Chains A and B, each alone.
Chain A
Amino acid sequence: MTAALRFDPIRLPPECEELRKEVRAFLADEIARGTFDPHQPHSEDNDNREFAKRVGAKGWLGITWPKKYGGHERSYLERYVVTEEMRVANAPTRRFFVADRQSGPVLLKYAPERIKMDILPRICAGEVCFSIGMSEPGSGSDLFAAKTKATKTDGGYLINGTKIWTTSAHIADYMIAVFRTSPPTKDNRRHGLTQFLVDMKTPGIKVNPINQMSGQKEFNEVVFEDAFMPDDHVLGEIDGAWKQATSELAYERSGPERFLETYYVLTELVRSIGPNPDARAAEGIGRLVAQLHTMRRMSVSVAGMLSAGKEPVVEAAIVKDIGTLWEQALPHRVRDLAAFVDADVTNLPTLNEQLAFATKIAPKLTIQGGTTEVLRGIIARGLGLR
């Protein structure tokens, strides 16, 4: 039996439950003081610098990182708890989410000491925002078709080309990007890309916002014209970015945000249905909760594997595939079940507003961070089929 199917029933240790209480109390306090509205999922749009700093001050960013970089040397499972509580509360995490989840870990692994000492403590303090520069107009699922070029020059590289769909580039301080340093070789088409740390204030970088169908302005086009990257901003092996991507993807793909993105509509549905559901509503809700519980148990299990130092790439792909399809279908299922809710129920306008928003963002969920088809390719490889 393939090992990728072992999702051991990991239970969160007591320190996680202590932490969960603290996070809930903190969020309740933030809601009370009007920082954000938990019923407004797109409040996440708001780039809230002060909130980010308060989260950092709590010690909840860079939780697992070494103390000398501002981290807290706590477990990956504790990070999991913070992430899921923030997600479910619809907290405005935009400023720090990517940095904490994946950019920081990449820097920890590949950046020179000077850069680590400079940037990591600021991520932990909630002061810096990161973006990810992988996709290009001619390169999406096929990451290794990227063309944006890094040409060697004195003391560094000159970058020319365009990245696209770059979430948060308009507010980001840094980007971690892949650029082409060499052409691919005959026997390895993945060869030739190098990971760089990009300071977004570098002259020659232009960020053009792109509007989304949901009305949000999350992503951007980023144009590079002779933008200079110093040598010490190279992350890891030159031409060898393809070797570095795997563990990053396990972090990126298995987290609670991969099935909780539209969760609020389920809460609101339960509220609108009230304590005495008819059989139809009860059955619908029961199935959704059973599916949710199962995904969460799988996701916690992957967190346990990450915590134990493994690289559960296939397991993470399974969680993201099932999870994103579920969160994508959720607004539609909730709409089905809400069809017979009494029109006078007081929270119905809130539910309808949330449904409209969730339905509009649903299409992106199975595209960002690796499409359904790409994930199934990874799972198939795990089964030894390719």
Chain B
Amino acid sequence: MTFASSARSYIFANVKSTPLTKHTISHAAYAGLRALIMHPRLSPPCLFTIMPPTKKQHSIRSFADETCLNNIKGASVAESENIVVEAAERIFADLADSQEIIRTANGSWKAPLWNALSEAGLTLAWVPEEHGGSGAGLADGFGVLNAAGRYALAVPLAETMLAGWLLAQGGISSPEGAMTVAPASPRDAITLNADGTLSGRARGVPFAKEAKHIAVVATGAKGVSIALIDVSACRIDAGLSLAGEESNTLTLTDARPLELKPAPVDFTQNSLLLMGCVVRSLQIAGALETMLDITVRYSNERVAFEKPISKFQAVQHNLARLASETAAALAAATSAADAISNARIFDDAVMLEAISAKIRCSEAAERATGIAHQVHGAIGFTSEHILHRLTLRALAWRDDFGNESHWAVELGKMVCARGADELWPLVASR
């Protein structure tokens, strides 16, 4: 069930046009309602007040009048599948504006942004309601992360969502607050010891220093397990990504997890990494979309030799290439997201989709960032300009969950092992 459908069914069942009723609702319906409240097409705005949440449930007061209810129930919203994404975009636009972030410089924008995201149920979007989340579909969540990429979002939303998803695979409920996942590289592994503790090292774990908990895939004598650990149970060393974000080495020495559950059959460390690849691909594609947008706009504004630089054919062709690379990245990432959303297991076909997305988006990131900077000239090289927030993140995201070189080797091995005459059938099966 998606946010929007939860919210709608709730509204149909409960909200009559009675003023000032107190309702107790589930997290999913709550998140959906918030999305609806913030939906730009709802006018006049719906009148719900949000009460402080209890552990299991949210309460709201509704002051909905007849018009408002009709609006909610009306076709325009009912047909909008992107209501969750649109709600997320509103939060990003209000609280994660790149220019504003550069202006404030001190990081004071982070807390309000994070609070808004978690209040809207987005941080635990991929956690089912029975595990304390808002139970959005995978597709909705992927859409949110694509949008996060468009805003070069620099809080651990993707990581917390991934962690929530991973924990849910093991039937573990998600705690509150920021999380991340480990391992974040195919070259690391965490071992489950016989006594139920965890040992090992994970490098390049995104946002570990800003997280309260870490969701871990560990391998032991009896197979693969999923664990929840408190950050105080491990050592976290300093480290920054290309974009200046926390990217840390995590060391576990006989660390006792808060929870430990066997992973589902066929679930491996690669399942987590591939899911991470698709998430990063969508973020890269989103960053490229905005890069294209602002680069085209700038080329129409900047005058050189007495005309807008967009009138020079060399510049036009560069922008056409930027558009093609952006299109390729988006196509690869959304196809992979669609594949994972509709797959039950990580078979060869899903591997092809997820790996291809990571490779193609990473390649596009190199080409697209190069063109975006070239067209911007010197201004794009300044710290005040927002371009670097997009370009450095697009480039940095290539490194997480296995870079494109690693995955190209894996894909190449898979293709060769299947044999020459099985290559086309695999490609054509998508």
Contact = CB atoms under 8 A, between A and B. Distances in A.
Interface of A: 1-2, 4-9, 11, 20, 84-85, 88, 263, 266-268, 270-271, 273-277, 279, 281-287, 289-298, 301, 315, 318, 321-322, 373, 375-377, 379-380, 382-386
A275 B417 contact: yes
Contacts of B282: none
Given A266-B423, A267-B424, A286 B407 contact: yes
Contacts of B413: 277, 282, 286
B356 A274 contact: no
A383 B323 CA distance: 8
Contacts of A384: 296, 300
A285 B356 CA distance: 12
Interface of B: 289, 292-293, 296, 299-300, 310-311, 313, 316-317, 319-321, 323-324, 326-328, 330-332, 334-335, 337-339, 352-353, 355-357, 359-360, 363, 404-405, 407-413, 415-417, 419-421, 423-424, 427-428, 430
B405 A283 contact: yes
B326 A289 contact: no
A277 B416 contact: yes
30 contacts: A1-B293, A5-B330, A267-B420, A270-B420, A274-B416, A275-B417, A275-B419, A277-B412, A283-B408, A285-B411, A285-B416, A286-B408, A289-B352, A290-B332, A290-B360, A291-B356, A292-B427, A293-B352, A293-B427, A294-B356, A296-B428, A297-B331, A297-B430, A298-B331, A318-B324, A377-B316, A377-B320, A383-B323, A385-B300, A385-B319
B110 to A, nearest CB: 27
Contact of B316 (A263, A318, A385): A385
A289 B324 contact: no
Contacts of B357: 294
A315 B317 CA distance: 15
Contacts of B300: 384-385
Contacts of A263: 424
B409 A279 contact: yes
B401 to A, nearest CB: 15
A290 B410 CA distance: 11
Contact of B320 (A11, A276, A289, A383): A383
A268 to B, nearest CB: 7
A11 B429 CA distance: 9
Q: Which 3 A-B pairs have the closest CB atoms?
A: A282-B412, A286-B408, A286-B412
Nearest to B332: A294
B416 A318 contact: no
A385 B415 contact: no
A378 to B, nearest CB: 8
Contacts of A290: 332, 355-356, 359-360, 408, 411
Nearest to A292: B427
A305 to B, nearest CB: 12
Contacts of B334: 7-9
A312 to B, nearest CB: 11
A322 B328 contact: yes
A345 B86 CA distance: 56
A382 B326 CA distance: 14
A321 B411 contact: no
Nearest to A384: B296
A379 B322 CA distance: 10
Given A285-B411, A286-B415, A290-B411, 20 more contacts: A5-B323, A9-B331, A9-B334, A11-B338, A266-B423, A270-B419, A275-B416, A276-B416, A282-B410, A287-B412, A290-B355, A318-B323, A322-B324, A373-B317, A376-B316, A376-B321, A383-B323, A385-B296, A385-B316, A386-B311
Nearest to A5: B327
Contacts of A8: 334
A384 to B, nearest CB: 7
Contacts of B337: 9
Residue of A11, A289, A292 with most partner-chain B CB within 10 A:
A289
A2 B331 CA distance: 14
Nearest to B295: A383
A1 B292 CA distance: 9
A20 to B, nearest CB: 7
A166 B334 CA distance: 40
Contact of A289 (B321, B338, B412): B412
B355 A286 contact: yes
Contacts of B421: 267, 271
Contacts of B356: 289-291, 293-294
Given A376-B316, A376-B321, A283 B412 contact: yes
A55 to B, nearest CB: 19
Contacts of B338: 9, 11
Contacts of B415: 270, 285-286, 289
Contacts of B405: 283
A382 B427 CA distance: 30
Most chain A Cβ neighbours within 10 Å, of B323, B411, B421: B323
Contacts of A270: 415-416, 419-420, 423
A142 to B, nearest CB: 14
Contacts of B352: 289, 293
